Chain A
């Protein structure tokens, strides 16, 4: 199975900050990497697919990059509604696996 490791596990930030979350895979693959946002008590929401493609309806302040084993989710200017937990997920091979999550909290 491919292990996905996110860093940091949590971070504190202020509205307007630039936030970067990193995801590392235990095996290399091209761009089969997706990012999800989850708010408490809600279902996850797809933000980014294929490492850098923005899902329809997602604000452009979200962006993704990377290839191989190292991937990044960036929020350019953090908004109040962005405080949530973020997960990366590999879609390269079954079983499809998630990172452990990064909780973005208000500073």
Chain B
């Protein structure tokens, strides 16, 4: 069955950096787009970034453009989110999520990881 397991969250000071990872299994990772979605404490869901199946296309929310970089290693079945210049408002649980459309992007999320908490505070 599909499994997505995030790691790399933690506490970081404003202006700092962090790299999240998402280990995927149970499906052919290299043929699906992958997303990051976040949820601030007690708040709703916010889409953050997406990467196409082969890494050739990447899109970001305006709130993270220029600070976050999404990437993937298809040989390791792993998705990444490199976060820099972190701000207090980036504090959230970060979920990785699978796009259901193979080789294209459907723009929604059929499987989710359990999430990893990022706290930005001095």
Q: Give the B-binding residues of A (Cβ under 8 A).
A: 32, 34, 36, 38, 42-46, 49, 55, 87, 89, 91-101
Contacts and interface: CB of A to CB of B under 8 A. Distances in A.
A25 to B, nearest CB: 14
B44 A46 contact: no
Interface of B: 37, 44-47, 50, 59, 61-62, 95, 100, 106-115
A99 B44 CA distance: 8
B113 A87 contact: no
Q: Which 5 residue pairs across A and B have the least CB separation, nearest first?
A: A91-B107, A43-B112, A91-B108, A98-B45, A34-B108
Given A44-B109, A46-B108, A89-B109, 11 more contacts: A43-B95, A43-B115, A45-B112, A46-B110, A49-B100, A87-B45, A91-B107, A91-B108, A94-B59, A97-B47, A101-B45
A91 B50 CA distance: 13
Contacts of A34: 108-109
Contacts, number: 55
A98 B44 contact: yes
Given A95-B47, A97-B47, A98-B47, A43 B107 contact: no
Given A43-B115, A49-B100, A100-B44, A95 B108 contact: no
A91 B110 CA distance: 12
A19 B113 CA distance: 28
A89 B110 contact: no
Contacts of A55: 110
A89 B112 contact: no
Contact of B45 (A44, A93, A95): A44
Contacts of A99: 44
Nearest to A46: B110
Contacts of B111: 46
Which among B95, B109, B113, B114 has the greatest number of chain A C-beta atoms within 10 A?
B109
